[in-house]
Structure 1
Amino acid sequence: MDKISVLAIVIGLTAILAGQALEGGHLGSLLQLTAFMIVLGGTASAVMLQSTPKQFLTGLRMAGWVFRPPLHDQEKMIRELVGWSHAARRGGLLSLEGYVNSQKDLFVKRGLQMLVDGAEPQIIRDVLETEIGVFEDERKQSAKIWESAGGYSPTMGILGAVLGLIHVMENLSDPSKLGGGIAVAFVATVYGVGIANLFLLPIGNKLKHLIGQEVTMKELTVEGLIAIANGENPRIIESRLRSFVGSH
């Protein structure tokens, strides 16, 4: 569990609600179902319209990363790569065949299998780096739905405000209906701007950071596999991989 994400949401909501209460406002005045439907529904429809089904669904699933980010044990990966380099120096690349089936990560498994099959180092690099590029592009396109939602949400808040004011203008002769229309108008704007800046845009930025970590992990793996294919000394491989992680 990413505790800082939970803490951030609690602090943000508390600050807004406490500020409303300190100003003498009623917390219930911020609860407007109509405004919420306009902002949330309008934002969702705009994002769905610009996305493919796969991008949209993947982006929704990735939102869970904010609280439970993917685990990347770089130290463990370095230890495994160094261990494979020792095994390769003792028994050749074919001695690594026993490690292939035990790999749960398909990317690592594919690279290790190519190593065992005796593929040229440059071919291994080209294939795996192409896969990294495709992976990164697909992930970023899916994460982008949250940035896009953060752009549409304030506009939908303004749309809700305009609709609320239209309702007010239509009922100028009936003072009892003016309060509700004005409330929807202003609360819709609060929802649009608040949701965008407290949730949607931060989620998009955090997902980009997490995708970067995944890419770094894959690049680390590629560097290790290529070094093994070139028959480099295990200690040199370990030193290179540790400096590589530090530079990222």
Structure 2
Amino acid sequence: MRKHTRALLVGISALVALATVPACTSGSTTTDATSPSQPAPETTTVAPFPGSARYMADMSAADGKTMTIGISVDGAEVAAYACNGTDDEAWFFGNQTDGGIDLKSRFRDTLAAEFNGKDVTGEVTMNGVEYAFTAAPVSGVAGMYTAESEGVRASWVVRPDGSATGVQFSGFVQGDRNFDVFNLDGLSDFDVRNDVRNKRKLGPAGPIEFPPDSGPRASINGVSVTPTLVTGTFRLN
């Protein structure tokens, strides 16, 4: 009986000793299944634009101000127009690169956007106010239009339902300092915004209509005009 008891005690002692021996490790390391995995780095999907397309969106700033933007792309060339329908507008012209748009207007407004394969998302900054947008593709009558009569230009962004937001530009108010509005490269952003940009004569554009039997129709100061659909290749003089 003692022999059996002693043998049993020896066996138990051996098991305890084995349990206290640290596990051996090799030179290679393995990841503990319970350790948190490293988060995958964030990526932004940028897709190439279609060969020819139009986009538009209504957008709001953090302070509640609203703007409407239209964007047209033809190949690498881009034209965009944003306005609030009352007293502010901005035109952007240039080229897109690999699905990205980074443009500055004549009056130092900025447009930065990317194409995600369906929509154009980005921000417009006008007179220091930023507006974020997601512009969906549009067709039919929707898009940007502009027309001119006797030195006065009206421009619109038209929605798919035919409703529009537009602004009329009638020149500049005579200020204390005169500048060549076609050559503002030597001026600071402050000078452009305060001595040129805010001297523009802007007001609501008249209605734009789309009769079923003809092209778009509008009037500027009582003169009938035929607005032009703005494509990516469009440029203002």
Answer yes or no: same fold by TM over 0.5.
no
* Structure of higher CA gyration radius: 2
TM range (shorter): under 0.3
* Structure with more helix by fraction: 1
Q: TM-score, normalised by structure 2?
A: 0.20
Q: TM-score, normalised by structure 1?
A: 0.20
* Structure with more strand by fraction: 2
